[in-house]
A = this chain, B = another copy of it.
């Protein structure tokens, strides 16, 4: 146990990241100023530079952390020997994980253009790695004769786009619960791969 801290040090950094995330999601990276972020946190603009080298790092770090958590959380799921069970697990996991982090997801998809080249390359690699995991499930199912999929790469793209789309319209207060939505989407996913 080290000495008691005055709170500000450990608290301000996360608060800045949270404010930046919310503002980037709502207005877009390019439209948000460092002054706005500072005002949200209750500090002066200059003070932000004690916690981040620049605005670009704020964006890159939140995208990297989001994708790292996505990959880690997915990797921690129980193994499914049955391809059909694995596909259902992926479908439900994807919807739930993304719905619970709509700001991060929105930023990760919309702000790719605003990453500097080197940062973009790293983020893209993480995204492709996630897509590859779905593709592997489809590949296994096809090899086992359970799925009828002409092109597993395209099918993975198509399914991920479909599932991520839930984020654009789903609201907790709407007529359907998330688990009901999961059921409906899983029904479509299952049928679409000929299962």
Q: A interface vs B, CB < 8 Å?
A: 26-28, 30-31, 110, 113-114, 150-151, 154-155, 157-162, 164-166, 168-169, 176, 181, 184-185, 187-189, 191-194
User: Knowing A110-B110, A158-B165 touch, does A28 contact B30 (C-beta < 8 A)?
Assistant: yes
Contact residues in B for A162 (Cβ distance below 8 Å)? 158-159, 161-162, 165
Is B28 a contact of A158 with CB atoms below 8 Å?
no
What does DSSP make chain A's interface, helix, strand, loop or mixed? Answer: helix
Residue of B with least CB distance to A169: B157
Separation of A86 and B27 alpha carbons in the complex (Å): 38
Residue in A27, A191, A192 with the greatest tally of chain B CB atoms within 10 Å: A192
Contact of A113 among B27, B114, B164, B191 (CB under 8 A): B27
Separation of A70 and B124 alpha carbons in the complex (Å): 31
Is A184 a contact of B31 with CB atoms below 8 Å?
no
From residue A21, how far is it (CB to closest CB) to chain B in Å?
15
Residue of B with least CB distance to A167: B161
User: Knowing A30-B30, A155-B188, A191-B192 touch, does A165 contact B169 (C-beta < 8 A)?
Assistant: no
Separation of A193 and B162 alpha carbons in the complex (Å): 14
User: Knowing A31-B30, A113-B26, A113-B28 touch, does A158 contact B185 (C-beta < 8 A)?
Assistant: yes
Contact residues in B for A158 (Cβ distance below 8 Å)? 162, 165, 185, 188
Separation of A157 and B158 alpha carbons in the complex (Å): 13
Separation of A159 and B168 alpha carbons in the complex (Å): 13
Residue of B with least CB distance to A162: B162
